[in-house]
Amino acid sequence: MVRETRISVDQLVYPMFVRDGQGIREEIGSMPGQFRISVDRLAEELQQVDDLGIPAVMLFGIPDEELKDPVGTPAYAEEGIICRALREAKQQVPDLLLVADVCLCEYTDHGHCGLISQTPGESPGVDNDSTLEVLARTALTYARAGADVIAPSDMMDGRVAAIRRSLDAAELYRIPILSYAAKYASAYYGPFREAAESAPQFGDRKSYQMDPANAREALKEVQLDL
């Protein structure tokens, strides 16, 4: 009666990888039994999730390779992969809670989670502050397309505030933000990077994701997002 922690199907969120194309249901090599699917196959997958009693899905988008660019334009395109998936999901299985992942790594040709800048004589790196505007624009686009929850996973400092301001300015006050508050630069994300086809084309993500050895820093990152 007084158990503090429980695990139940009604607490789960099911991740789904949606890609451009038609008739696609391709298995993810590093995730046996999991698939990348096209929007036209989405309804049947969503119905299975709903039939299992899972109340929510989290959508990750994979645009065609030729659409990717240095600034992640496909992320906030109103006819982009996630917006089309959200509209289809809302129409076909309206009772499911739709969580939209917000990051740029799937949409940039360099595979990093933010915009790239380079000072002469130095290696290129992610520009935290210029990325915030793109993340906020992406979040607003997803909310207007039907997302019930916005889930930024990019690990840019200040992204939660930027997204909140963007949503509130559009009078979308009731859309909650589910932040990946403490995300580590870890090999454990390898299968995800394969699934989302989002591996960085140069360098790594250690300048904006966390050192796995740092627990106190994780609490600081959580507090920053709060």
User: What is the DSSP code (8-state) at residue 40?
Assistant: G
Cα separation of 196 and 140, whole Å?
Answer: 22
Cα separation of 94 and 85, whole Å?
Answer: 13
Q: Does the predicted TM-score (pTM) go above 0.75?
A: yes
SS3 88: helix
Cα separation of 30 and 25, whole Å?
Answer: 15
Instruction: List, for residues 40-60, the tens digit of each pLDDT value.
Output: 999 999 999 999 999 999 999
Q: How confident is the model at residue 123 (pLDDT cuts 50, 70, 90)?
A: confident
Distance of CA 18 to the CA centre of its chain: 11
Cα separation of 179 and 120, whole Å?
Answer: 34
Sorted by where each begins, the domain ranges of the chain are: 9-225
Q: How confident is the model at residue 160 (pLDDT cuts 50, 70, 90)?
A: very high
Decide if 149 contacts 176 (C-beta within 8 A). yes
Written as one letter, the residue type at 161 is A
The correct answer on CATH 3.20.20.70 for the domain covering 9-225 is yes
